[in-house]
Amino acid sequence: MAHLVGLLVGRERSFPDALISEVGKRQTDVSACYAKIDALRFDRPLPYDVLVDRISHDVTCYQPVLKHAVLHGTRVVNNPFWRIADDKFFNAALAHRLGLKVPKTYVLPQHSYGDDVTTESLTNLVYPIDWEGLVRDLGLPLYLKPHWGGGWRGVHRVHNLQEMLSVYDHSGNQTLIAQEEITWVQYVRCIVIGKEQVLPALWDPRRSHFERYTRAAESMPALTLEVEKRLVEDSRAICRALGYDMNTVEWAIREDGTAYAIDFMNSAPDLDVASLGEEKFRWAIEKMADLVITLAKEPARAPKHHWLKALA
């Protein structure tokens, strides 16, 4: 029986093209292609055994389509129900409960609201925010960033209270988190595929986009085997807990080797060859091909939702 994997992508081409080619080279009964999404009737399943979602965070009309696909038995990477619900504040709290080191983190009330929200709508909010107390707890500099999103978009390093208030005042209706800065000597991104396959890589956020992987080793020392082993184990623990089959986990490593989980809400991580470099790109393609072929051949296992029990 033939199985079909559909790739849902944006502008990227090197990753999906290489994955389609790699799946084809395996000479199994699984093939891969770019998914095609038309106006979709509610009772008509899509023709894909697996869908790899790389773009629904930006093209939001795909989100209900992906949930519909799960309902009809398609395996979606990553789980569209959780991907929409996830956020960086919850992630920090979860990692802490898992026993991992994370920066101290606060979630902040929005600065602005829509026209339908009045003063009476905000009865439960404590106001004003104790900004000075927050700064005393987190220290300076600290980071302000959106509670949902990726690609380091909207991330601000602030050095004093006035700078923090200026960023907050211009944040509109975004929900922000405030996070302690971790001083590091190494910064690492662990690429995680299928929750179990982990590739730790030095990654320097100070460099330009296409040099963060490829030139990171020029500005920081190599990982020790002990630290690398711990990062692999802890990245697995995070992705198992979140249910992500495709993710990156960012770690800041202090001089004493202590690792802090910084960001692991990267469910459509940058897997472009120009970013990763040839060796890491090849690893990602091979592991993703392994994953989608395995998922395509397995019986459909929908995530456990209340509606699934009703359909049993």
pLDDT of 299: 78
162 and 192 together in one domain: no
pTM to 2 decimals?
0.94
Q: What is the pLDDT of residue 150?
A: 76
Q: What is the rounded CA–CA span in Å between residue 250 and residue 168?
A: 25
Q: Using CA of residue 10, residue 85, residue 20, residue 240, what is the dihedral sign? A: positive
Each residue's pLDDT tens digit in the chain (312 positions)?
799 999 999 999 999 999 999 999 999 999 999 999 999 999 999 999 999 999 999 999 999 999 999 999 999 999 999 999 999 999 999 999 999 999 999 999 999 999 999 999 999 999 899 999 999 999 999 999 999 977 778 899 999 999 999 999 999 999 999 999 999 999 999 999 999 999 999 999 999 999 999 999 999 999 999 999 999 999 999 999 999 999 999 999 999 999 999 999 999 999 999 999 999 999 999 999 999 999 999 877 666 666 666 566
Would you give the DSSP letter of residue 147? S
Which of 153, 180, 207 lies at the terminal end of a domain, its last residue?
A: 180
Residue 33 belongs to domain with CATH number = 3.40.50.20
Predicted local confidence at residue 155, as pLDDT: 93
Structural tokens at position 120: 């009476």
**Is the domain of 200 the same as that of 169?**
no
Question: How far are the Cα atoms of 57, 220, 253, 258 from residue 60, in angstroms, in the given order?
Answer: 6, 38, 35, 38
Residue 300 resides in a domain: no
Degrees, nearest 5: CA angle 55-61-63: 65
Measured between alpha carbons, how far is 131 from 194 in angstroms, rounded to an integer?
A: 41
Same domain, 74 and 150: no
Count of the separate structural domains present in the chain: 3
Count of C-beta atoms within a 10 Å radius of residue 142: 23
Domain with residue 272: its CATH number is 3.30.470.20
| Domain, as residue range, for 116 | 104-180
